[in-house]
A and B are shown apart, each in its own frame.
Chain A
Amino acid sequence: MTLGIYYGISLIFAVLVFLLGFFIGKKQSKILNVLCKGFSLVLALFFAMRYMLGDDLISETFALADGPFETNIQNFFGIILVWFTYVSNLLLILYPFFDVKKLKIFTKVFAFPITILNICFLGFHFTAITGNISSVIIRNMFFAMEMGVALGYAILIVVKTDFKNIFKKHEKISQDKNEILKKYQKNNFWNKVANVLSIVWKFCKKHWFDLFAVLVIIFSVMPSYTIQAIFGHAEQIYKAKDFEISHRIILYIGFILPFIVHYTLRKKEYSEKKFYLMFICLGTLITYSFTKKLDAFLDPTSWPLHLCNTAMYIMPIVLIFNMKRFFYFTYFINVIGAFFAMIMPNYGAKENIFSGSLVNFYINHYIAFFMPLLFVSLGMFQKPRFKQFVYSMLGFLAYFVLVLVVNAVFTGMFEAGIASQSTDYFFINSDFIADKLGRWATDTRNIKAIIEVNGIKLTFYPLYQTLFFFVYVALGFGIWFVYEYCYTMFANLNDMFERNRKVKLDELALLSKMNGRSLNEPMNPENDYKLILRDFTKRYSGSEVLAVDHANLEVNGGEVFGFLGPNGAGKSTIIKTVVGIQPLTEGEVEVCGYDINTQPIEAKRCIGFVPDHYALYEKLTGREYINYIADLYNVSLEDRNQRIDKYVKRFELEGAFDNQMKTYSHGMKQKIAIMAALVHDPKVWILDEPLTGLDPNSIYQVKECMKERAKEGNIVFFSSHIIDVVEKICNRIAIIKKGHIICTKTVKEIEESGTSLEDFYMDIINGPDYIKNLEEEQKEEQNKEEK
């Protein structure tokens, strides 16, 4: 009979909600949305009332056999149903406030069957939460109303779903599935199983992040007594003694969990992230409230004024109302407090790790420990500045003063026999922390100040409490740097993984380009003796100007190619990029058929490079250095003997070659740099201002060397400011100005046009008729002087 009344209430509410939503919300989706928000709030109200008015009977289960039902299976079902009801309620409550499609689908899939189950097992549920179905009691009434609203609301959101659209979107998927189904219908049983598994595997592989996020959601609302109720109390085995294995495992979980949550959510949209974080905060608040029901709020000694308890309420509030200043208070203060609480827990040493109170303790401290950090790492709040630190410390001061007064008042009242219990919020009243810190702390705590108000003695510990405050502020300040370091470290790691992935993709692209050939082979074998620049573009980091802008150039074997241009035009930039010292921003560089970007090692093997500023290991001898370079280029002993002898004689280094290079003159060092570039007989010899500091004889030898190498079919590519030399030895030149290659001509062409290379260069760089104008100006000046 009584159950009938409850069913009646539930169904009335369900029908009311559904009809209201269906008919009023039919015309306009905006109105439906407002209605849904209203239903959410009503559901939240009924749920809160039912939950906060008393403890669930099932929460007193210490093992399946001790539950409120007769059989273990019933008890297990009861525990899971109560748990999933919390999940379903919370999903429905948050449903209209977040526009996240996947989550909306999940809410429908999850909440609808759970609410149906709850209605079907209404009596069963009453046994689980109140143990009373025979009489009308207020909690059961609220539960019946809650279930009614939940059912009507769940049906409404399912009915209002635009299934056509969803089906259209998923048409292709179902077609694929049908094909697979047809395929496995022909096969035997094991193939069918394999096919089904493969579909499941593909789905999981594609959506594993979402599946994981769903698990995070479900477990964040798990009532703290669940483990103890399902697995038993295991009293003798798993004691949570400080720093023993069980405690350590709990600590490890506390450090690993935030990484899992961060990794799971990091790539989701802002609103999706916010939903998950909000869900976790509210879900764990429900779990935490298991010990803080309405009666706790009426008792001052049970107020949630311990730092980590406060955090449970602050966390969802700052998310809902986006309260930045309030958030940074938890960021600087709660995290460190929770950390200390986790490593120095204040529960008894005999506490079992499965017990509800211990699970509750750790859920509470995990949240206070890592949620503020997750809020920042997932972008809900910005990293704090000094101003925010100051605000948070002011907030901390207010909190500190509040608990100081509350502690003093209620302890005084307790001592006067007015209150039943004293308070020790934030542990600043008792000797709990002082004892752990040692005698010096106990000594400081011994300094007391007692104020008597209306016969109540208010005791303060000025030195100890002031020290306590400032140490905490210092810790908050210190922890800032730890956070910063951690964020930077993780950002760097993420960045590294991303860049690495890009490099691997480039390698894969190269593999496909090579079309089955070995990666050591040239990409374009027909360009065996060529140096090609295609749309070469270089921008230095932090600069807005392009150092080289889409330069194109092709140098052939047998050419001595001169590269001219004023200082800062981009000559060295191009050379340094071609030899592999710096990367390209855009475009391609091909050296003897190898791409410098994707086949750098093979390309570099073809290059000999003489830098503009010799850079040698001065403590090595010339021979040691050349041999080192020869080793890197894998030159055989015979070849190196022959080449080293040749160049040592040519550059007249016989007397000094086995001396340390710090004893060499500038010219000698330059000669060694030239030898190092030639010891492996490169196809492409690149020289950046090579003649600086050389004596006339050596200049002659270098020039001869260049001609010789070109004669042998190799490329000689060099930049210089000495136009005469370029004119004498080069076949072809290019002129670069402000990052643009503005002219490429053979020296013969220039000669045939009737000008010298110098005049041609001046015209190109300074504009046409520059020299004529200059001469005219000089003449004018002369005339003036004569006058």
Chain B
Amino acid sequence: MEKVAEKQNFIKKFFKTILKWFAVIRPLVLMQLKDKIDFSFLKSKKNTIFKIVFSLLLFVAITAAVYLVFKLIVGLGLFSFVSTVNFRMYLIVMTLLMLLSFISCLTNVTKTLYFAKDNPVLLTFPVKNSTTFTSKMIVCLIYEFIKNITYILPFFWGYGLVMKLSFTFFLWTILSLILFTLLCVSISGFLSIPTMAIVIVLKKVKWLEVIVVAGVLGALIYGVIFAIGMIPEDINLIRDWGRIYWSIQDFLADFASKTFIFNMLLQLFTGMFYGSNNFKPFNHDNLFTFLSCALIIIGCFVLVYLLSSKLFLRMASNPFEYKKKDIKKFKKNRRYFPFLSASQKSALVSLRSANVIYSVLAVAIITPIAIFLQNKIIGAMDTRILGNFLGITFNILIVLLMVLSSNVIIASTFSKEGNAGYLNKVNPVPYRVPLSGKVMLNALICVGSIIASTVVISTFAKFDALQSILLGFSMIFIYVAHLLWSAEIDIMNPQNRLYQTSGDAQKNPNETKSTIIAFIMSILFAFVAFFLMSENIKVVFVKLFFVTLIILVVRIYLYLTRIRLYYKEK
């Protein structure tokens, strides 16, 4: 009897402890989640309904898109003669997706654990440091799970729909996603230690950072040029289809054998199915993979708890002040015109913020290379006139999508400045001077990239000089219009508070807006170009030039007027 009572007491105690722990960790988790994810929609019923409907629509849209792509691939018979999705092809897609998800998770976990601005504040709360650390890990888990539901689950379900799999498959994939999230976060937590060390070293040793970035970029460029060199001069898909088909099969088999870990994982996540209604989540192999995963997750979490939590504490309690170094050689004072000075100041700030400048540079370098690669492939094909027009349209679309997407940084750059930017109002120059100066570096880099891309497009499409100039200017006009639009969005709706706690906002509404506008503008421009091209190729660029010029003039007017009024009134 005593033993039973003791046991009951122990269970009671255990649950009490758990409940207590939960009561402590819950507000911590909620607080951090609110900072990461915008829950403001919960304030009103209407917004909540909209949010739910929108989220569902987004999910349905992605799933439908995936379904259609798989259906198209099956229809075209690119990877298989039978009308099912080739599992090896699916493996490539999912491997890339899982890797991307993992990289994003690693970045997020590293930032959240060691570089978030709220860490020192969290440490001041009356809870154990280990609890704070655990809350951070839970936040990462929840955030990653939501992300995976939005972006990975549609790939499972799209596949299931095309393969006409049973209902059990769809349920099983949700469970798989939990497992995948746990795996990602646990391994990321473990790997965040060396990642953090590398980041710190790179931050401290500037030249090393430059060498690493240059090396990576060089390797990428070399890889692309190597790939371009491998493209044959003459591609005739219909004539050579047999050979190409078996080359694809060889590649798939090779890929599957080299990525056997992902192969095993994917088999575990998708389960085993024999026909459309016979679905079994497990077989012997899968059980082995599952147990291995479980072991890795537990092992990683234990290691993370033992190692990372201490490191987290150390990083969070690090002093804010940097090490000073005395400089004996003084620099000279220089004088510039206000606009030039503002541009130079912003350029220096950008150049000293590695993540900003690298992402812009990467876009600027990759764009003309991507265009070159695409044209090389299309150029090797025997295309009809409609194909040529489609090729040019895709060139334009890719250039615009890439350079316009780089403007998304501009949609948060003023918010990130916080009070320093606010003090622009004190200076005795028109507001447009310091504000416009901030976007100059990005503009110069991307305009250069557009010019290079235009040269590539014009060379392959054999445009004359006037056509090339008009096309180049049209794309530059659209780019600058979007740049000013993005800047205007951020100036008019500053999101300073998002950057005050964690120093990094996962979902800045201004960035989302800018991304949507970039997407719509690129698609519209490409559509109009294609539409006009099929009507009359000779006048298409003249029309585009004037239309984009009008758009640019309107945007410049709106930008200047709005910021003038905003700064005068706010």
Contact status of A657 and B423, CB under 8 A, knowing A617-B345, A628-B345, A632-B428: no
Q: Please determine whether B419 and A613 come into contact, CB atoms closer than 8 angstroms.
A: yes
Tell me the bound Cα distance from A286 to B327 in angstroms.
87
A704, CB-defined interface residue at 8 Å: no
Per-residue A-contact encoding for B548-570, CB less than 8 Å = 1, 0 else: 00000000001001101100111
Main DSSP-derived SS at the B contact region: helix
Number of residues on chain B facing chain A (CB within 8 A) = 52
Whether the pair A633, B428 counts as a contact (CB closer than 8 A) is yes
Residues of B within 8 A of A609 (CB): 426
Name the residue on A nearest B429 (C-beta): A632
Q: Name the contact of B322 in the complex, choosing from A600, A640, A663 (C-beta under 8 A).
A: A663
Please name the residue on chain B nearest to A648 by beta carbon: B330
Find out whether the CB atom of B428 lies under 8 angstroms from the CB atom of A641. Answer: no
Say yes or no: is B258 at the interface (Cβ < 8 Å to chain A).
no
Cβ contacts B335-353/A at 8 Å (1 or 0 each)? 1111011101100110011
Question: B417-434: contact bitstring with A at CB < 8 Å (1 yes, 0 no)?
Answer: 111101101111110011
Q: Which residues of B contact A261 (CB under 8 A)?
A: none
In the assembled complex, the Cα of A664 lies from the Cα of B324 at a distance in Å of 8
- Establish whether residues B420 and A616, one from each chain, have CB atoms under 8 Å apart when the complex forms: yes
B37-60 to A contact mask, C-beta < 8 Å, 1/0: 000000000100100010000000
Evaluate whether A627 and B326 lie within 8 angstroms (CB atoms) in the complex, with A583-B569, A619-B348 already known: no
Residue B333 is within 8 A (CB to CB) of chain A in the complex: yes
One digit per residue, 1 when the CB lies within 8 angstroms of any chain B CB and 0 when it does not, for chain A 603-642 equals: 1110101010101110111011111111111111100110
Q: How far is the CA of A660 from the CA of B348 in the complex (A)?
A: 11
Contact of B434 among A244, A620, A632, A662 (CB under 8 A): A632
- Are A640 and B569 neighbours in the complex by a CB distance under 8 Å? no
| CB of A658 closer than 8 Å to a CB of B | yes
Which residue in chain B gives the minimum CB-CB distance to A480? B50
Residues of B near A603 (CB, < 8 A) are 428
- Per-residue contact bits, chain B 130-141, to A (CB 8 Å; 1 contact, 0 not): 000000000000
On chain A, the number of residues with a Cβ less than 8 Å from chain B's Cβ atoms is 57
* Residue among A244, A605, A627, A637 making CB contact with B341, cutoff 8 Å: A627
Contact at B321–A663, with CB atoms within 8 Å? yes
Does B284 interact with chain A (Cβ within 8 Å)?
no
Q: Which residues of B contact A664 (CB under 8 A)?
A: 321
Knowing A601-B428, A628-B342, A631-B337, say if A655 contacts B326 (CB, 8 Å). Answer: yes
Residues of chain B contacted by A581 (CB below 8 angstroms): 422-423, 425-426
* Distance, CA A59 to CA B132, complexed state (A): 83
Nearest-neighbor residue (CB-CB) of B327 within chain A: A658
Min C-beta distance of A216 to chain B, whole Å: 26
User: What residues of chain B lie closer than 8 Å to A2, measured between beta carbons?
Assistant: none
The answer on a CB contact under 8 Å between A630 and B331 is: no
Residue in A604, A656, A660 whose beta carbon sits within 8 Å of that of B428 in the complex: A604
The answer to the question of B34 belonging to the interface, with a C-beta cut-off of 8 Å to chain A, is no
Q: Tell me whether B239 is interfacial, beta carbon within 8 Å.
A: no
Given A583-B570, A617-B349: A500 and B561 interface contact (C-beta under 8 Å): yes
Residues of chain B lying within 8 A (CB to CB) of residue A580: 425-426
Structural contact, A496 and B345, CB atoms closer than 8 A: no
Query: Is B243's beta carbon under 8 Å from chain A?
Result: no
* Among B331, B338, B353, contact of A634 (Cβ-Cβ < 8 Å): B338
Asked if A488 lies at the interface with its beta carbon under 8 angstroms from chain B, I say no
Task: Judge whether B325 is part of the interface by a CB distance below 8 angstroms.
Answer: yes
Chain A CB within 10 Å, residue with most, of B46, B333, B348, B430: B333
Contact of A189 with B by CB under 8 A: no
Residues in B whose Cβ lies below 8 Å from that of A210: none
| Complex contacts, A655 vs chain B, CB 8 Å | 324, 326-327
Complexed CA–CA distance, A477 and B342 (Å): 46
CA–CA, A496 to B488, complex, Å?
Answer: 14
Q: Are A631 and B562 in contact (CB under 8 A)?
A: no
Write out the residue numbers on chain B whose beta carbons fall within 8 Å of the beta carbon of A579. Answer: 425-426
> Knowing A581-B422, A616-B420 touch, does A644 contact B349 (C-beta < 8 A)?
no
CA distance A625 to B417 in the complex (A): 14
B391-429 vs A, CB cutoff 8 Å, 1 = contact: the mask equals 000000000000000000000000001111011011111
CB contact list, B425-457 vs A, under 8 A? 425-430, 433-434
Note all chain B residues with C-beta closer than 8 A to A630: 333, 335
Whole-angstrom distance from the CB of B230 to the nearest CB of chain A? 37
Do B333 and A619 touch across chains, with their CB atoms under 8 A apart? no
State in angstroms the CA–CA spacing of A624 and B419 once bound together.
18
* Chain A residues with CB under 8 A of B428: 600-605, 632-633
In Å, the complex CA distance between A480 and B521 comes to 21
Determine which of A617, A631, A632, A634 lies in contact with B420 in the assembled complex, contact meaning CB atoms within 8 Å: A617
Cβ B352 vs Cβ A624 within 8 A? no
- Judge if B204 is at the interface, Cβ distance under 8 Å: no
- Is A499 located at the chain interface by the 8 A CB criterion? yes
Closest CB in chain B relative to A385 CB, distance in Å: 8
Is A190 interfacial (CB 8 A cutoff)?
no
Chain A residue at minimum C-beta to C-beta distance from B322 = A663
Q: Does residue A665 face the partner (Cβ distance < 8 Å to B)? A: yes
Interface assignment of A503: CB less than 8 Å from any CB of chain B: yes
Assess whether A71 is interfacial by the CB under 8 Å rule. no
Query: Which residues does chain A contribute within 8 Å of B46, judged by CB atoms?
Result: 386
Least Cβ distance of A104 to chain B in Å? 40
CB atoms of A637 and B335 under 8 A apart: yes
Closest residue to B433 on the A side, CB-wise?
Answer: A632
Query: Contacts A634-B338, A637-B335, A659-B327 known; A503 to B345 CB distance under 8 Å?
Result: no
Residue of B nearest to A637 (CB): B335
Q: Point out which of B335, B338, B417, B418 has the most chain A C-beta atoms below 10 A from its C-beta.
A: B335
Q: Which residues of B contact A611 (CB under 8 A)?
A: 419, 423
Residue A185 lies at the interface, judged by CB distance under 8 Å to chain B: no
Given A500, A604, A619, which contacts B353 in the complex, CB threshold below 8 Å? A619
Chain A residues with Cβ below 8 Å from B336 are 631
The answer to whether A446 has its CB under 8 Å from any CB of chain B is no
| B384: Cβ under 8 A from any A Cβ | no
Judge whether B352 and A604 touch: CB under 8 Å: no
The reply on A582 being an interface residue by CB < 8 A is: yes
State A438–B238 Cα separation when bound (angstroms).
25
Using Cβ atoms and an 8 Å threshold, which residues of chain A touch B3? none
Chain B, residue nearest A506 (CB): B568
Cβ-neighbour of B430 out of A601, A626, A637, A644 (below 8 A)? A601
B324/A656 in contact, CB under 8 A: yes
Cα of A631 to Cα of B427 in the assembled complex, Å: 10
Closest to A500 in B: B561
User: Taking the nearest CB of chain A, how far is it from the CB of B264, in angstroms?
Assistant: 36
20 A-B residue pairings within 8 Å (CB atoms): A243-B531, A244-B535, A477-B53, A581-B423, A600-B428, A619-B349, A623-B331, A624-B348, A630-B335, A631-B336, A631-B337, A631-B338, A631-B340, A632-B341, A641-B333, A657-B330, A658-B330, A658-B331, A659-B327, A663-B321
In the A-B complex, the 7 residue pairs with the smallest Cβ-Cβ separation, listed nearest first, are A615-B419, A631-B341, A604-B428, A605-B428, A619-B352, A663-B322, A615-B420
**Extra inter-chain contacts (9) besides given A580-B425, A625-B345, A663-B323, CB under 8 Å:** A496-B562, A600-B428, A615-B419, A619-B349, A624-B348, A631-B340, A631-B341, A631-B342, A632-B427
